[in-house]
Copies of this chain bind each other. A is one copy, B any other.
Amino acid sequence: MTPRIPVSVDLVVLTVRFAELCALVWRRDRPPYAGRWALSGGFIHLDEDLPAAAARVLAERAGLPGAPVHLEQLRTYGYPDRDPRQRVLSVAYLGLAPDLPASTEAHMSWRPLTELSEMAFDHRRIMLDGIERARSKLEYTSLGAAFCPPAFTVAELRRVYEIVWGRTLDPRNFHRKVTKAEGFLMPTGHSTTRDGGRPAMLYRRGPAELLRPPMMRPAKDVVRL
């Protein structure tokens, strides 16, 4: 007889708003961990693929149906006591989103990391793993643009990097790096003054997914979480 285990999908959905890295969470209203912040999650259905379950949780539980969120599998958490009621295996997904309104209907809200020191279950560990994945993916992929609106300026992209990495970056060197990286940015032909000052060119995400050579975080930030 093979042991069978309940399996859930939990989502670490990150965005950048008000110059802070925020996660999409809700406040539990019943035990266990009543009053603590929790990631959105749900049990997978018996005939459901994992990416489909993640998309469903994003739409139904996280309240972001159809939103342009980059979703990728993060890792699986299976420590037997992670849920005190019963053993639950959790396949965590990482979502990177532009600054979208949180669904009040789904009781979700964006909270900066500083407010999330106490979370339900092992959700803080999962969230920290997601943040570290996001930080390292900005180094060697073009995923930083997933935090931006469809058309964005180089400075807006730079602020994403600065906030996710927690370091200021030289605007001129950053500009050189991303505009010279083949396929990272596609000019839209338009510009905007929404950031003040001289109008900035607007770009869309290009087809390139990898950044070669990578843009390394300044060494100070390489410390483990």
Contacts and interface: CB of A to CB of B under 8 A. Distances in A.
Interface of A: 2-7, 43-50, 53, 73, 75-80, 87, 89, 91, 210, 212-214, 216, 219, 222
Nearest to A213: B216
Identical copies of this chain, number: 2
Contacts of A80: 46-49
A44 B3 contact: yes
Contacts of A212: 216, 219, 222
Given A6-B2, A43-B2, A214-B214, A76 B73 contact: yes
Contacts of A48: 80
8 contacts: A2-B6, A3-B7, A4-B6, A5-B46, A47-B87, A50-B79, A73-B76, A210-B222
A210 B223 CA distance: 11
Contacts of A76: 50, 73, 75-76, 91
B3 A46 contact: yes
Contacts of A216: 212-213
Given A4-B4, A7-B7, A43-B3, A49 B89 contact: no
